[in-house]
Structure 1
């Protein structure tokens, strides 16, 4: 059991916590529960979990702030729960670095399916992929990190996956829908604006582009990672 994936659930509804704990433990996960944001963040630092399921509406500290603190610390998969269906909640969660979101009410099997999909994307198979080395840019998939001018750039898993996918196929244009299917999976039902949010965040964190490479917007189509080997 010591090698089991540790999941921290931060949710103020005890019934939801108990139900998720039951299903997740049946799947072999180690589960830790917290019922407010402050306690959840304390458990995150103390327990060093591998995955966080995080409600938005929490006592003492809301899920937005908890997610922000987690993202400032390290890259760990975060699945957000929301009782609202507004796109604002979804977009804000993605901007803060959440990997996915589920709207209440939900079925426990949906949570597990989304968790497994996220873990497949962020765990071992990505670490076997080749590193990408360009002028002042290194995407190291063994460490699951990005370096710009030798400085470690903190990209959440989804942003790193998106950057790696585009950079591994230089000068090829992908539509937003294609990128959603490649990174989020064919069963993802989110808005294509998800891609725009992530591209914006990646650009902000990488800083000024170089003539050697750039993350280009192809108006009306999508995006490409442009590499100019002649520069």
Structure 2
């Protein structure tokens, strides 16, 4: 799933990007309203997290345009604290409204609720416990390592879509890791042994995909 993050404060953008990326979301970053709309029109966006006060177009203006053309969920961030401001935000079509400063973990919970994502995801005989950081197969803990779990979470968030080795590397090892992308292949092989060879499909020269079907 892709989250559009729009805020004119670079530090805030990076903080939000780090938290959402760790949860397996793809992130699109914008520093003003016009850039946010450009990304919205050129990418699949499942959730837009918009700062109210942005250059060129405000978060409220961006929200109205997004809602005019799609069913994309929108969460507005603002330093404003008046009840009238909350009314304006929700009237613009926003699905939720969070005041700054906020705990990014709370923001993630709000985001997951908007996207109707549960803490436990089931795929056939597999159960992925996103809060407990465990993977179960037929009720048995497969003893996934942290890297295996992080890759599974990212594949799950992008189920049905091909993800590259670089994307998996960035998510499981961090953006500042400069190791070999082939490291991913070794961990994918071990993950397959634990959850079932058929579930993760290789697309040669492209990457991997967690298939929708469980046949």
Interval containing the TM-score (normalised by the shorter chain): 0.5 to 0.7
Task: Verify: 1:39 aligned to 2:35, yes or no.
Answer: yes
Shift of 1:87: 1.0
Larger RCO, structure (CA 8 Å, separation 6 or more) = 2
Following the alignment from structure 2 to structure 1, what is the Cα–Cα distance between the partners of residues 44 and 81?
30
The question of whether the paired residues in 2 share the 8 Å contact of 1:36 and 1:60 is answered with yes
Shift of 1:48: 2.2
Match of residue 9 from structure 1:
5
Match of residue 26 from structure 2:
30
- Matched position secondary structure for 2:81: coil
The question of whether the paired residues in 2 share the 8 Å contact of 1:10 and 1:54 is answered with yes
Shift of 1:61: 0.7
Unaligned runs of 5+ in 2: 118-215
The correspondence of residues 217-228 of structure 1 with structure 2, limited to 5 A, is none
TM-score (ref. length: structure 2): 0.53
Aligned residue pairs, count: 117
Task: Verify: 1:61 aligned to 2:54, yes or no.
Answer: no
The question of whether the paired residues in 2 share the 8 Å contact of 1:82 and 1:89 is answered with no
- Matched position secondary structure for 1:7: strand
CA deviation profile, 1:63-108 (whole Å, cap 9, x unmatched): 1111111111011110000111111111111111101011000111
Task: Verify: 1:72 aligned to 2:97, yes or no.
Answer: no
Following the alignment from structure 1 to structure 2, what is the Cα–Cα distance between the partners of residues 88 and 47?
33
TM-score (ref. length: structure 1): 0.50
Q: Which contiguous aligned blocks of 4+ residues in structure 1 show a shift greater than 6 angstroms?
A: none
Following the alignment from structure 2 to structure 1, what is the Cα–Cα distance between the partners of residues 64 and 114?
19
Shift of 1:39: 0.7
- Matched position secondary structure for 2:116: helix
Q: Which of the residues 17, 21, 28 maps onto 1:21?
A: 17
